[in-house]
Amino acid sequence: MHGPWMGYRAFARAGYTVVMACRSKERGDAALRSVRELGAKGEVHLELLDLAEPASIHAFAARVTSKYDKLDILINNAATMGTPETRNSQGWETQFAIGHLGHFILTSRLFGLLKAARGRIVNVSSLNAFDLIHGLDLTDLLFKTQKYDPFVAYGRTKRANLLFTHELNARFASDGVSATAAHPGGTLTGLLPEAEGYRKGGCCLAWR
């Protein structure tokens, strides 16, 4: 993967119907134009989604489930990395809210469509799940009592992605739904400026 929209392009050029779920309409529109200009064979649509906020996730899921009766692939790819401490409207630490809890809610809301297609879930994790985490403290995942450390928060989020993937397979393999965790390697997504306050958000949904 060599650019922020490579996944969208690959699915669209393979003939999938793709929904690009993006937090920023400006950046989402730019991605949409890029994907369409590079020879998309399938339909490509943009939907706004802020994975930090449960209300936005539920609204997005309601729109998707009203339009489609199955979902072949869900790629959970939103993240922040090394940001100063912030919290969403629920008081959740933002890195964990976006990178894990938001994906958990979204996957749960779309699971009926995934089951109907015997679909696949891809959770984009990181090798930092092992490098940056000093145990997964289940008593204080959201830094309510501990001193906040931005890279421990990121590591916890990526470790949670791995555990989520394992549990999805353990619970739902019999339904024909599979889950995979992936380390994307070095990608030109704009994630590295996160420490200076930049935030990336996105998921990809695809149907054949």
Dihedral Cα 141, 146, 147, 150, nearest 10 deg: -10
Task: Measure the CA–CA gap between 74 and 77, rounded to whole angstroms.
Answer: 9
Q: Could you tell me how many residues make up the chain?
A: 208
Task: Measure the CA–CA gap between 84 and 169, rounded to whole angstroms.
Answer: 33
> Considering 16, 68, 154, 198, which one is annotated as catalytic?
154
Residues 6+ apart with CB under 8 A from 37: none
Based on the residue annotation, tell me whether 154 is a catalytic residue of this protein. Answer: yes
Q: Which residues pair with 76 in a beta bridge?
A: 123, 203
Q: Identify whether the C-beta of residue 68 lies closer than 8 Å to the C-beta of residue 60.
A: no
Q: Identify whether the C-beta of residue 121 lies closer than 8 Å to the C-beta of residue 114.
A: yes
| Active-site annotation, residues | 154
